[in-house]
Amino acid sequence: MLRTQLYADPHNLFLHDLVLASCRRNPHKTAIVDASCGRRVSYAEYGETVEALARGLVAVGVKPGEVVAIFLCNCWEFCAAYHAATLAGGIPTLLNPTYREREVRYQLENSGAAFLITDGSNLAGINLAGLPNLRRVYTTRQPGNGAEPFASLLKPVSASLPQPEQTSEKTLAALPYSSGTTGLPKGVMLSHYNLVANVYQFLGPNATEIHSADNILCFLPLYHIYGLNVIANPALMLGATLVLMPRFGIPQLTQLLADESITMMPVVPPAMNAMCQAAEAGQFPKEHRVRWVKSGAAPLAPDLPRRLTALTGILVCQGYGMTEASPVTHVGYLQPELYRPDSIGHPLSQTECRVIAQTDLDPLSGAQNANEADTGQPGELVMRGPQFMMGYWREPQATAAVLRDGWFWSGDIVTRDGEGFYRVIDRRKEMIKYKGFPVAPAEVEAVLLEHPAVRECGVVGRPDAVAGEIPAAFVALRDGFVACKKLEEELRAFVADRLTHYKQPREVHFVQAVPKTASGKILRRELRQLIR
């Protein structure tokens, strides 16, 4: 076992305190480079901004335990709002900046958000009226109807910052929403202890090689736990420089690699594929300083890391996790003797794993009573450790379904070889992964069923070389409607008006009936066979 120690003891540490301590240690270093506006923020300035913003939030009425929603793309304001919200005693819930009105209203209402920090451009076409708990809205760069300027929160005030009322194990530090296999997304309750412990797990000995001297490029969205707690939080806790891109694009990425002397960055497989294509076209800088990239959020085709390394010299470290685990549970190695880029590597320290034989996948059984799969044989990955969530927000039944006797049942099928390396081979869950973004079929189906032409429908993922998977819908029509190209385009547009872009079906197939079990559950396996 190579990973037995944490970077430090995570008990009763609060995330914002660790970031502010880093600001005091590194006052003259650059903390954040915001490529969306060209602003460079020193650690001294960042610490002052976070503290001022936290006092501003307290002054306008944020109370400990209230939810503060952040609905922004990658920018310095996102980082500051996040750390200030927890310093003020609030619970940040993070919204995808591409969300449509339906999705925004759902998360704000379900979380009970009292305050919203966003930008006027994100609010275009979104009606926030009637949300029972939302008291005030602030916009960062462009004004919005009924919103106050974010800058007003930074004005000097005399408000005192609250002291934590509970330990870090019981104080929520983030409420991201994760799409489940059924129904709508659920809030994942992550404590300060969960997040700090996970950072200390992958900064510990023989884990990941992230250092204070790194210049880290992050185009992964900060609203996603991967961008937030694998990159932004550890970078700022260590005193590294965090370079933020609002969205992925090869021209800006290659420019920033050179201009900011980037040394590492997180990626997802589609971005890695785009980097390979850019290198093949001679568009990737030959004099870059990137030593390695961290790949996660979606399965990695074995040939892809080999291509990237051959073309650019950049090593690939694949990892694995989920929002419920803050998010990292496994990560690979860069040392030549342990380099297995096709594997998700070994578990992090203090992460216990079992691979449950597929014959024992009883949804009511406990991990202790189930049989382990033999070496090299597939089974469900079941884990426990300090990084796992407190539970789902106001969803005790959903929590009990995945957290049983302290063990988290991942729903992913893995193998473990004789050297202890894990590989993900399948998902028991029905999630679709489009470019690393999770898409819950049930959420897309619920929207399609609102269209007057749709009698029943089923949504599955179709393998795609660029996106990993694309959502494909199977639709049975009501009487009086005729399948045609025009109706297919209408149905796709109908979803596009109501859900963010990556959830939209890229294909619509018309069928006489959607195959189901006797109990009425959609037989997605049969639907997948129709498109392969």
CA distances from 110 to 116, 176, 185, 267 (A): 14, 12, 10, 30
Q: Among residues 243, 246, 298, 242, which one has the least CA distance to residue 273? A: 298
Q: Is 397 a member of any domain?
A: no
Beta bridge partners of 292: 264, 315
Give the count of beta carbons closer than 10 Å to the beta carbon of residue 307: 18
- Dihedral of alpha carbons 504, 103, 481, 517, sign: positive
**What is the rounded distance in angstroms from the CA atom of residue 307 to the CA atom of residue 341?**
11
CB-based contact 308:272 (threshold 8 Å): yes
Instruction: Answer with the one of 224, 240, 256 that is the final residue of a domain.
Output: 240
User: In this structure, is residue 9 part of a structural domain?
Assistant: no
The last residue of one of the domains, among 188, 206, 240, is 240
pLDDT tens track for 127-172: 999 999 999 999 999 999 899 999 999 999 999 999 999 999 999 9
For residue 486, tell me if it sits in a domain: yes
- Any domain includes 511: yes
Beta strand 30-34 pairing with 403-404: unpaired
Instruction: Put the strands of the sheet holding 115-118 in their side by side order.
Output: 91-94, 67-71, 115-118, 136-139, 148-149
φ, ψ (nearest 5 deg) of residue 174: -165, 145
CATH number of the structural domain spanning residue 496? 3.30.300.30
Q: Is residue 128 part of a domain?
A: yes
- Give the Cα separation of 328 and 388 in Å (integer): 9
The span from the CA of 518 to the CA of 290, in Å, is 54
CATH number at residue 173: 3.40.50.12780
**pLDDT recorded at residue 61:** 97
**pLDDT per residue as tens digits for the range 455-503:** 888 899 999 988 889 999 999 998 999 999 999 999 999 999 999 999 9
Residue 259 lies in a domain: no
Domain count along the chain:
2
Its domain, for residue 505, covers 433-530
Instruction: List Cβ<8 Å contacts ≥24 apart for 57-61.
Output: 57/84, 57/85, 57/88, 57/90, 57/115, 57/153, 58/88, 58/89, 58/157, 58/159, 58/160, 58/161, 58/162, 59/157, 59/159, 60/115, 60/136, 60/153, 61/114, 61/135, 61/136
**Total residues belonging to the chain:** 532
Nearest C-alpha neighbor of 320 from the set 464, 201, 424 = 424
d(CA 322, CA 225): 8
- Give the CA dihedral 495, 497, 500, 504, nearest 10 degrees: 30
The structure tokens listed for 328 are 């990292």
Residues 292/263, Cβ–Cβ less than 8 Å: no
Q: Is residue 292 a part of any domain in this protein?
A: no
Cα separation values, 177 from 174, 185, 222, 319, Å: 10, 6, 13, 21
Boundary (domain end) residue, out of 240, 265, 285: 240
The residue ranges of the chain whose pLDDT is under 70 are 1, 179-183, 359-368, 426-429, 517-521, 532
User: What is the pTM for the complete model shown?
Assistant: 0.87
Q: How many degrees, rounded to 5, is the angle at CA 238 between CA 235 and CA 241?
A: 45
Question: Comparing C-alpha atoms, which of 456, 465, 471, 464 is closest to residue 502?
Answer: 471
At 426 the pLDDT is 67
Report the C-alpha gap between 185 and 444 in whole angstroms: 12
Structure-token pair, residue 261: 């002397």
181 located within any domain: yes
Contacts of 529 (CB under 8 A, 6+ apart): none
